[in-house]
Structures are given as structure tokens and as C-alpha cells.
Amino acid sequence: MSELEEAVRSRYGDAARQLTVLASTGAELAPGCCRADGPDCGCAGAYEAAELEAVGLTDALSLGCGNPVLLAELRQGEIVLDLGSGGGLDVLLAARRVGPDGHVYGVDMTDEMLELADRNKVRAGVKNATFLRGTIEQVPLPDEATDAVISNCVINLAEDKGVVIREAFRVLKPGGRLAVSDMVELRPLPAATKRELDAWAGCIAGTIPVDDYRRLLIEAGFEAPDIEVTGEQRVGSVAGAIGSASIRATKPPRL
């Protein structure tokens, strides 16, 4: 594991432990949204209250920057993969949308998050979801196994985004959909910030420009990539340096 991967794993392991302690004490949880100890970056209010109530969970469980479940327009019976599933909120909401004939897989490299996700699965009474230990660069699923791939503020954490996007393409069936909420770079960040491990693990330093994101999607084989910036956030003295974005693309159908 690289120094960067260890920094990310450590940060989100700590976040999982904090969420577990707060949940066990019945304390009110404030939305995490990207950084467990940082500002809201776009997902506050992203989830419908009725959906959260249905699984008996709160949006404080999300450390994301949007609602990829809604973005993916999931249908009954579909097979879905969540890259970097964390505490499992998006997986459990997606599982309800695809129904008993569908299934949702969540992949995460952090043991504490996987344990938290499995507890939340039991709490929500969801049967059609499975949490797998693995990385978003090497997904433990076969080729063309899924109808949709979702992710919530995780791809920016990867050292090589191209590898992650190619993995998403690999596991999608022809005609499958990628629907991602992520952070992107809107204005150049200081070189010192880009080198900070904590800034990378906090969904800041690992962001890339929208044009680079679109290029990686096309190079992986996706068609019709659509990237919509949905919010902006200051980084130090740079206003609007990074932003949350809704990202969609399609794997071409088999001819």
C-alpha cells in the first residue's frame, strides 16, 4: 500500500469509528460530506427523507458530494456496483431501487467501513446487497457483471483515475451506465496543496480538471460523457477552487 493509499485508508477508518461511536450513543450526526471534519461540499439535502427513513439511516452516514443513486436512474432487476461504498448508504438505497430481483455490490478497502456497512445492512433489513473488500483499481467482480456503476466522492482519492475508470468500464455490460458524484478542480490549486496527503485524503488535492475527467472517460471507451458542476468550494485563498460534479457516461452497446 502506498503512502497515499495508507493516508486515505487511515482517514476513512477513523471516520468509520467516529460514526460507529456516535450511532451507538444515539447522538445526532451532522452530515459528513466529503471530509469527516470538514465543510459541506454539495450533498446536504441530496437524499430524500422518505428514502432514508425506509432504510432507517441518516445522511450523516454519507461522506459524499451528491446522490449517485438518483443520478443513475436505476431500474428494477439491475445489478449495480458502488466504488468506495463506505458505510453503505448508497448501496442500501440502490438495493431498494433495484428490488429483490436486482443486486448491489459495494467495494471498499477499509475494514472499519466494511464492518459499519454490514451492520447498517442488517439494521436496514436489506437482503440484496453485498459488501466486498477490495480496491476501486482492482474490483473483485468479473467482466461485464453490472448494469450500472456508481460512486460518491471517491474516484478523486485514487492516484490513477484512469485505472479506476477503466475498471468501471470493464465490469459494465455493453450499454451499461456510469453515474458518479465526485469533486473536480475548477481553478489551479497551489503546488504545495497538491502534495499534502491530508488534503488528498480530504477530497481536495486529488481533484482533476473537468476536461481531464472527460478525456479519461473517452479514453476508457465511454461515450456521451456529461459532467455538470453542481457546487463550488474555496480552498485556502482560492475561491471556487474545487467543486462537486455529477458525472454520467455510457458503455457502447455490443454491435
Instruction: Give the separation between CA 9 and CA 1, rounded to whole angstroms.
Output: 10
As a whole-number percent, the residues of the chain with pLDDT over 70 amount to 90
pLDDT at residue 45 is higher than 80: no
What mean pLDDT, rounded, does the chain reach? 90
pLDDT at residue 254 is higher than 80: yes
pLDDT at residue 211 is higher than 70: yes
Instruction: Give the separation between CA 255 and CA 237, rounded to whole angstroms.
Output: 51
pLDDT for position 1: 66
pLDDT tens by residue, 98-139: 999 999 999 999 999 999 999 999 999 999 999 999 999 999
Least confident span in 6-15, 65-74, 240-249: 6-15
As a whole-number percent, the residues of the chain with pLDDT over 90 amount to 71
Instruction: Give the Å distances, CA to CA, from 93 to 29, 171, 178.
Output: 19, 21, 17
Pairing of strands 238-250, 172-185: antiparallel
CA angle 27, 30, 31 (to 5 degrees): 140
The answer regarding whether domain 3-250 maps to CATH 3.90.1150.10 reads: no
C-alpha cell at 236: 485556502
pLDDT for position 41: 54
The residue with greater pLDDT, 60 or 45, is: 60
| Model confidence band, residue 43 (pLDDT cutoffs 50, 70, 90) | low
- Section 141-168 average pLDDT: 97
pLDDT tens by residue, 218-231: 999 999 999 999 99
The model's pTM: 0.93
pLDDT for position 108: 97
pLDDT at residue 42 is higher than 90: no
Asked if 208 and 185 touch (Cβ cutoff 8 Å), the reply is yes
